[in-house]
Chains A and B, each alone.
Chain A
Amino acid sequence: MKMPAHEPPRWAERFLERLLPARARQVVVGDLREEYVESMLPLRGKLRADLWYIQQIASFMPHFSQERGPMGTILSFVSWFCLASTCWLAVMEMLLRHDGYELRATMAGGFALICLATILVRMLRLGKRSERWLWAGAAVLIGCGGEAFLHNATADHFEGFAVVISVVLLLQGTLMLITLGRPAKGNARPLETTLG
Protein backbone atom coordinates (compact mmCIF):
# COMPACT_ATOMS: atom_id res chain seq x y z
CA MET A 1 0.00 0.00 0.00
CA LYS A 2 1.40 3.42 -0.96
CA MET A 3 1.85 6.09 1.73
CA PRO A 4 -0.10 9.36 1.50
CA ALA A 5 2.24 12.09 0.19
CA HIS A 6 1.65 14.35 3.23
CA GLU A 7 3.23 12.00 5.76
CA PRO A 8 6.87 11.13 6.52
CA PRO A 9 8.10 7.93 4.82
CA ARG A 10 6.72 4.93 6.70
CA TRP A 11 10.07 3.11 6.70
CA ALA A 12 11.74 6.14 8.29
CA GLU A 13 9.12 6.36 11.05
CA ARG A 14 9.45 2.64 11.77
CA PHE A 15 13.24 2.90 11.85
CA LEU A 16 13.01 5.79 14.32
CA GLU A 17 10.53 3.87 16.50
CA ARG A 18 12.99 0.97 16.66
CA LEU A 19 15.89 3.27 17.46
CA LEU A 20 14.28 5.12 20.37
CA PRO A 21 13.77 3.82 23.91
CA ALA A 22 10.12 3.07 24.79
CA ARG A 23 9.74 6.20 26.93
CA ALA A 24 10.62 8.58 24.07
CA ARG A 25 9.16 6.63 21.15
CA GLN A 26 5.61 8.01 20.76
CA VAL A 27 6.50 11.53 21.83
CA VAL A 28 9.47 12.01 19.50
CA VAL A 29 7.89 10.33 16.47
CA GLY A 30 4.73 12.43 17.05
CA ASP A 31 6.70 15.68 17.37
CA LEU A 32 8.70 15.01 14.21
CA ARG A 33 5.58 14.06 12.27
CA GLU A 34 3.90 17.30 13.39
CA GLU A 35 6.92 19.36 12.31
CA TYR A 36 7.09 17.47 9.01
CA VAL A 37 3.40 17.91 8.20
CA GLU A 38 2.90 21.47 9.44
CA SER A 39 6.26 23.13 8.66
CA MET A 40 8.69 21.17 6.52
CA LEU A 41 6.35 19.85 3.83
CA PRO A 42 4.57 23.16 3.06
CA LEU A 43 7.83 25.18 3.18
CA ARG A 44 10.35 22.82 1.54
CA GLY A 45 8.42 20.28 -0.55
CA LYS A 46 8.36 16.48 -0.32
CA LEU A 47 11.98 15.66 -1.22
CA ARG A 48 13.63 18.20 1.09
CA ALA A 49 11.16 17.40 3.87
CA ASP A 50 12.06 13.70 3.56
CA LEU A 51 15.76 14.55 3.67
CA TRP A 52 15.17 16.69 6.76
CA TYR A 53 13.39 13.75 8.42
CA ILE A 54 16.26 11.37 7.64
CA GLN A 55 18.73 13.93 8.99
CA GLN A 56 16.77 14.11 12.24
CA ILE A 57 16.82 10.30 12.57
CA ALA A 58 20.60 10.34 12.13
CA SER A 59 20.85 12.93 14.91
CA PHE A 60 19.32 10.47 17.41
CA MET A 61 21.83 7.68 16.75
CA PRO A 62 24.73 8.89 18.91
CA HIS A 63 22.40 9.83 21.77
CA PHE A 64 20.06 6.87 22.00
CA SER A 65 21.85 3.86 20.54
CA GLN A 66 24.58 3.42 23.18
CA GLU A 67 22.64 1.91 26.04
CA ARG A 68 24.73 -1.07 27.06
CA GLY A 69 27.48 0.79 28.88
CA PRO A 70 31.14 1.14 27.90
CA MET A 71 31.36 -2.44 26.58
CA GLY A 72 28.53 -1.66 24.14
CA THR A 73 30.29 1.51 23.00
CA ILE A 74 33.53 -0.39 22.38
CA LEU A 75 31.57 -3.09 20.53
CA SER A 76 30.01 -0.42 18.30
CA PHE A 77 33.40 1.05 17.48
CA VAL A 78 34.95 -2.36 16.80
CA SER A 79 31.95 -3.43 14.68
CA TRP A 80 32.26 -0.36 12.45
CA PHE A 81 36.02 -0.92 12.16
CA CYS A 82 35.55 -4.61 11.28
CA LEU A 83 32.81 -3.76 8.77
CA ALA A 84 35.07 -1.26 7.00
CA SER A 85 38.12 -3.58 7.02
CA THR A 86 36.27 -6.70 5.85
CA CYS A 87 34.54 -4.74 3.04
CA TRP A 88 37.95 -3.41 2.02
CA LEU A 89 39.43 -6.94 2.12
CA ALA A 90 36.59 -8.33 -0.01
CA VAL A 91 36.97 -5.56 -2.60
CA MET A 92 40.77 -5.99 -2.76
CA GLU A 93 40.44 -9.76 -3.20
CA MET A 94 38.04 -9.20 -6.08
CA LEU A 95 40.36 -6.67 -7.69
CA LEU A 96 43.68 -8.53 -7.27
CA ARG A 97 42.29 -12.02 -7.99
CA HIS A 98 45.13 -14.08 -6.49
CA ASP A 99 44.74 -17.89 -6.25
CA GLY A 100 41.73 -18.87 -4.16
CA TYR A 101 40.38 -15.31 -4.07
CA GLU A 102 36.74 -16.44 -4.34
CA LEU A 103 36.83 -18.22 -0.98
CA ARG A 104 38.65 -15.36 0.77
CA ALA A 105 36.35 -12.71 -0.71
CA THR A 106 33.30 -14.74 0.34
CA MET A 107 34.69 -15.11 3.88
CA ALA A 108 35.39 -11.37 4.12
CA GLY A 109 31.85 -10.67 2.86
CA GLY A 110 30.49 -13.07 5.50
CA PHE A 111 32.41 -11.27 8.26
CA ALA A 112 31.09 -7.95 6.96
CA LEU A 113 27.53 -9.28 7.18
CA ILE A 114 28.06 -10.40 10.80
CA CYS A 115 29.43 -6.94 11.67
CA LEU A 116 26.52 -5.20 9.95
CA ALA A 117 24.04 -7.49 11.73
CA THR A 118 25.68 -6.69 15.10
CA ILE A 119 25.38 -2.95 14.45
CA LEU A 120 21.74 -3.19 13.36
CA VAL A 121 20.66 -5.49 16.19
CA ARG A 122 22.20 -3.15 18.77
CA MET A 123 20.94 0.03 17.13
CA LEU A 124 17.39 -1.15 16.44
CA ARG A 125 17.05 -3.35 19.55
CA LEU A 126 15.73 -6.25 17.51
CA GLY A 127 15.45 -8.38 20.62
CA LYS A 128 16.56 -11.73 21.93
CA ARG A 129 15.34 -13.74 18.94
CA SER A 130 17.62 -11.85 16.57
CA GLU A 131 20.45 -11.82 19.07
CA ARG A 132 20.51 -15.62 19.14
CA TRP A 133 21.83 -15.63 15.57
CA LEU A 134 24.64 -13.36 16.65
CA TRP A 135 25.89 -15.89 19.21
CA ALA A 136 26.71 -18.09 16.21
CA GLY A 137 28.26 -15.06 14.49
CA ALA A 138 30.43 -14.39 17.55
CA ALA A 139 31.65 -18.01 17.51
CA VAL A 140 32.54 -17.69 13.80
CA LEU A 141 34.46 -14.44 14.42
CA ILE A 142 36.39 -15.92 17.36
CA GLY A 143 37.15 -19.12 15.45
CA CYS A 144 38.28 -17.39 12.25
CA GLY A 145 40.09 -14.57 14.09
CA GLY A 146 41.96 -17.08 16.29
CA GLU A 147 42.84 -19.30 13.34
CA ALA A 148 44.10 -16.32 11.28
CA PHE A 149 46.16 -15.06 14.25
CA LEU A 150 47.83 -18.44 14.88
CA HIS A 151 48.35 -19.11 11.16
CA ASN A 152 50.01 -15.71 10.74
CA ALA A 153 52.14 -16.12 13.88
CA THR A 154 53.64 -19.39 12.60
CA ALA A 155 53.92 -18.37 8.92
CA ASP A 156 57.27 -17.57 7.26
CA HIS A 157 55.98 -14.25 5.95
CA PHE A 158 54.53 -12.03 8.71
CA GLU A 159 51.57 -9.84 7.67
CA GLY A 160 50.95 -6.86 9.98
CA PHE A 161 47.46 -6.06 8.70
CA ALA A 162 46.42 -9.72 9.11
CA VAL A 163 47.41 -9.57 12.81
CA VAL A 164 45.43 -6.34 13.32
CA ILE A 165 42.32 -7.69 11.62
CA SER A 166 42.49 -11.08 13.38
CA VAL A 167 42.88 -9.38 16.78
CA VAL A 168 39.93 -7.07 16.04
CA LEU A 169 37.81 -10.05 14.94
CA LEU A 170 38.69 -11.84 18.20
CA LEU A 171 37.88 -8.68 20.18
CA GLN A 172 34.55 -8.18 18.44
CA GLY A 173 33.54 -11.82 18.94
CA THR A 174 34.41 -11.64 22.65
CA LEU A 175 32.57 -8.32 23.16
CA MET A 176 29.53 -9.75 21.37
CA LEU A 177 29.51 -12.70 23.79
CA ILE A 178 29.76 -10.29 26.75
CA THR A 179 27.23 -7.64 25.69
CA LEU A 180 24.58 -9.32 23.58
CA GLY A 181 23.06 -11.27 26.45
CA ARG A 182 22.57 -8.14 28.56
CA PRO A 183 19.20 -6.38 28.73
CA ALA A 184 19.16 -2.89 27.17
CA LYS A 185 18.96 0.01 29.62
CA GLY A 186 16.65 3.00 29.36
CA ASN A 187 13.32 1.25 28.80
CA ALA A 188 12.33 1.24 32.45
CA ARG A 189 9.47 3.73 32.17
CA PRO A 190 7.11 2.81 29.37
CA LEU A 191 5.23 5.83 28.04
CA GLU A 192 1.79 4.33 28.49
CA THR A 193 2.15 3.89 32.24
CA THR A 194 2.70 7.61 32.82
CA LEU A 195 0.03 8.87 30.41
CA GLY A 196 -2.65 11.02 31.93
Chain B
Amino acid sequence: MAELLGTFEQSVLLSIFGLRDEAYGRAVLNHVQKLLQRNVSAGAVYATLERLEARGLVLSRLAEGSPARGGRARRYYTVAGEGERALSETQKALTAIWKDVQLPIQEGL
Protein backbone atom coordinates (compact mmCIF):
# COMPACT_ATOMS: atom_id res chain seq x y z
CA MET B 1 0.00 0.00 0.00
CA ALA B 2 1.34 3.42 -0.97
CA GLU B 3 2.06 6.03 1.70
CA LEU B 4 -0.99 8.20 2.37
CA LEU B 5 -0.82 11.78 1.17
CA GLY B 6 -1.07 14.88 3.35
CA THR B 7 -3.72 17.55 2.73
CA PHE B 8 -1.29 19.87 0.96
CA GLU B 9 0.05 17.09 -1.27
CA GLN B 10 -3.52 16.12 -2.19
CA SER B 11 -4.30 19.76 -3.07
CA VAL B 12 -1.24 19.99 -5.32
CA LEU B 13 -2.01 16.70 -7.09
CA LEU B 14 -5.70 17.60 -7.53
CA SER B 15 -4.70 21.00 -8.91
CA ILE B 16 -2.48 19.33 -11.50
CA PHE B 17 -5.43 17.09 -12.42
CA GLY B 18 -7.79 20.06 -12.64
CA LEU B 19 -5.45 22.17 -14.77
CA ARG B 20 -4.81 19.36 -17.28
CA ASP B 21 -2.39 20.67 -19.95
CA GLU B 22 -1.91 24.01 -18.20
CA ALA B 23 -0.40 22.69 -14.97
CA TYR B 24 2.80 24.71 -14.60
CA GLY B 25 4.14 26.17 -11.35
CA ARG B 26 2.32 29.51 -11.28
CA ALA B 27 -1.02 27.97 -12.33
CA VAL B 28 -0.68 25.23 -9.70
CA LEU B 29 0.09 27.85 -7.03
CA ASN B 30 -3.05 29.85 -7.89
CA HIS B 31 -5.21 26.72 -8.13
CA VAL B 32 -4.03 25.42 -4.74
CA GLN B 33 -4.90 28.81 -3.21
CA LYS B 34 -8.37 28.55 -4.73
CA LEU B 35 -8.84 24.99 -3.46
CA LEU B 36 -7.66 25.72 0.08
CA GLN B 37 -9.21 29.22 0.13
CA ARG B 38 -6.16 30.80 1.70
CA ASN B 39 -2.86 32.36 0.70
CA VAL B 40 -0.20 29.77 0.02
CA SER B 41 3.51 30.55 -0.34
CA ALA B 42 5.29 29.74 -3.56
CA GLY B 43 8.08 28.02 -1.61
CA ALA B 44 5.66 25.49 -0.12
CA VAL B 45 4.15 24.64 -3.53
CA TYR B 46 7.47 24.25 -5.37
CA ALA B 47 8.99 22.21 -2.54
CA THR B 48 5.94 19.91 -2.64
CA LEU B 49 6.17 19.57 -6.43
CA GLU B 50 9.87 18.67 -6.13
CA ARG B 51 9.11 16.11 -3.43
CA LEU B 52 6.21 14.55 -5.35
CA GLU B 53 8.37 14.29 -8.46
CA ALA B 54 11.21 12.69 -6.50
CA ARG B 55 8.71 10.12 -5.18
CA GLY B 56 7.53 9.39 -8.74
CA LEU B 57 4.01 10.74 -8.16
CA VAL B 58 4.26 13.49 -10.78
CA LEU B 59 6.14 13.84 -14.04
CA SER B 60 7.39 17.08 -15.55
CA ARG B 61 8.59 18.48 -18.84
CA LEU B 62 10.10 21.80 -19.78
CA ALA B 63 8.70 24.20 -22.39
CA GLU B 64 9.94 27.45 -23.88
CA GLY B 65 9.31 30.62 -21.89
CA SER B 66 7.33 33.71 -22.90
CA PRO B 67 8.54 37.35 -22.93
CA ALA B 68 6.54 38.04 -19.72
CA ARG B 69 8.85 35.56 -17.97
CA GLY B 70 12.00 37.09 -19.43
CA GLY B 71 12.29 34.05 -21.73
CA ARG B 72 12.65 31.64 -18.81
CA ALA B 73 11.39 28.09 -19.30
CA ARG B 74 8.13 26.75 -17.86
CA ARG B 75 7.89 23.36 -16.21
CA TYR B 76 4.61 21.54 -16.86
CA TYR B 77 3.46 18.79 -14.51
CA THR B 78 1.29 15.70 -14.99
CA VAL B 79 0.15 13.19 -12.39
CA ALA B 80 1.91 9.84 -12.86
CA GLY B 81 0.13 6.47 -12.48
CA GLU B 82 1.70 6.13 -9.03
CA GLY B 83 0.26 9.54 -8.12
CA GLU B 84 -3.25 8.49 -9.17
CA ARG B 85 -2.92 5.34 -7.06
CA ALA B 86 -1.73 7.35 -4.04
CA LEU B 87 -4.66 9.77 -4.40
CA SER B 88 -7.13 6.92 -4.74
CA GLU B 89 -5.78 5.09 -1.68
CA THR B 90 -5.78 8.29 0.36
CA GLN B 91 -9.40 8.93 -0.58
CA LYS B 92 -10.36 5.35 0.35
CA ALA B 93 -8.56 5.61 3.70
CA LEU B 94 -10.19 8.94 4.53
CA THR B 95 -13.64 7.67 3.56
CA ALA B 96 -13.13 4.58 5.76
CA ILE B 97 -11.93 6.69 8.69
CA TRP B 98 -14.94 9.03 8.49
CA LYS B 99 -17.54 6.38 7.58
CA ASP B 100 -19.11 5.88 11.01
CA VAL B 101 -18.45 9.34 12.36
CA GLN B 102 -21.24 11.83 12.77
CA LEU B 103 -20.49 15.43 13.60
CA PRO B 104 -20.46 16.72 16.25
CA ILE B 105 -18.33 13.77 17.39
CA GLN B 106 -20.06 11.73 20.13
CA GLU B 107 -18.23 10.74 23.30
CA GLY B 108 -16.98 7.15 23.57
CA LEU B 109 -16.29 6.79 19.84
Contact = CB atoms under 8 A, between A and B. Distances in A.
Interface residues of B, number: 22
B25 A33 contact: no
Interface in A97-123: none
A56 B25 CA distance: 13
Contact of A37 (B44, B50, B68): B68
A30 B43 contact: no
Contact of B42 (A26, A31, A191, A194): A31
Nearest to B48: A63
Contacts of B70: 29-30, 33
A159 interface: no
Interface residues of A, number: 26
B68 A38 contact: yes
Interface in B64-93: 65-66, 68-70, 72-75
Secondary structure at chain A's binding surface: helix, strand, loop or mixed? Answer: helix
B62 interface: yes
Given A35-B26, A191-B62, A195-B62, A27 B75 contact: yes
A20 to B, nearest CB: 9
B102 interface: no
Contacts of A61: 43
Contacts of B30: 35
A56 B42 contact: yes
Given A35-B26, A194-B62, A196-B62, A29 B72 contact: yes
B24 A31 contact: yes
DSSP class of B's interface residues: helix, strand, loop or mixed? helix
A1 B44 CA distance: 34
Interface string A1-42: 000000000000000000000001011111111110110000
26 contacts: A24-B50, A26-B65, A26-B72, A26-B73, A27-B25, A27-B72, A28-B46, A30-B65, A30-B72, A31-B25, A31-B29, A31-B42, A31-B69, A33-B69, A33-B70, A33-B72, A35-B26, A38-B68, A56-B41, A56-B43, A59-B43, A59-B44, A62-B43, A64-B43, A64-B47, A191-B62
Given A27-B25, A63-B43, 20 more contacts: A24-B46, A26-B72, A27-B72, A27-B74, A28-B42, A28-B46, A30-B69, A32-B26, A33-B68, A33-B70, A35-B26, A59-B41, A59-B42, A61-B43, A62-B43, A63-B44, A63-B46, A63-B47, A191-B62, A196-B62
Interface of A: 24, 26-35, 37-38, 55-56, 58-64, 191, 194-196
Interface of B: 24-26, 29-30, 41-44, 46-47, 50, 62, 65-66, 68-70, 72-75
